Structure 1
Amino acid sequence: MLRHHCASSLYRNGVDIVAIQELLGHEWIATTMGYIHVHGTHVEDSWSRAADRSAARLSGVGS
């Protein structure tokens, strides 16, 4: 249970899944993916952050 919590927390805080795979010592990424549990709003939150980054980049264009 602790490994699942740690993997999920790392992923939620932006750690790359391949890095988590290495930390957990998994040979296959699919094994690591089984350890990661995301919050129900994960997709929406990720989309919102990406939109914010895009808007910030575009705000400097044409100035």
Structure 2
Amino acid sequence: MGDDALRNGLKDAAKVHLPGWGKKLTPHALRHFYASQLDGNGLDLMANQEVLGHSWIATTMRYLHVQQTRVEDAWVSGTERAAKRLEGLVR
């Protein structure tokens, strides 16, 4: 199967199942989605780099699109951990 067959099949499937995506859904866009999903499910950055086959970690970092809730969740989690560490010190 060649690149064109994959692109055309994806384009046809997007027309049927994802109207409105049109030309935006490409194999490259799916790589970005895949990398972001792996990151969101806990795969660390270096493992993600290896899975994607990138030589440079900076390339992998450009592929990750972090959801805003993930940033907020990490902030809340870090704040809770800090508060637990301080519990015994405050009386």
TM range (shorter): 0.7 to 0.9
Q: CA RMSD in A?
A: 2.1
Of 31, 39, 52, the residue aligned with 2:59 is 31
Q: Which runs of 5+ in 1 are unaligned?
A: none
Per-residue CA deviations over 1:1-57 (Å, capped at 9, x if unaligned) read: 11101100111111100000000000000000111001123321112223445567x
Q: Which runs of 5+ in 2 are unaligned?
A: 1-28
Q: Which amino acid aligns with 1:15?
A: L
Pair 1:8 & 2:36 matched: yes
Counterpart in 1 of 2:47?
Answer: 19
Distance 1:3 1:27 in 2: 16
Counterpart in 1 of 2:72?
Answer: 44
Computing the radius of gyration from Cα coordinates, the structure with the larger value is 2
Work out the number of aligned pairs and report it: 61
Q: Which amino acid aligns with 2:53?
A: G
Structure 1's consecutive aligned runs of 4 or more residues displaced over 2 angstroms after TM superposition are: 49-56
TM-score, with structure 2 as normaliser:
0.54
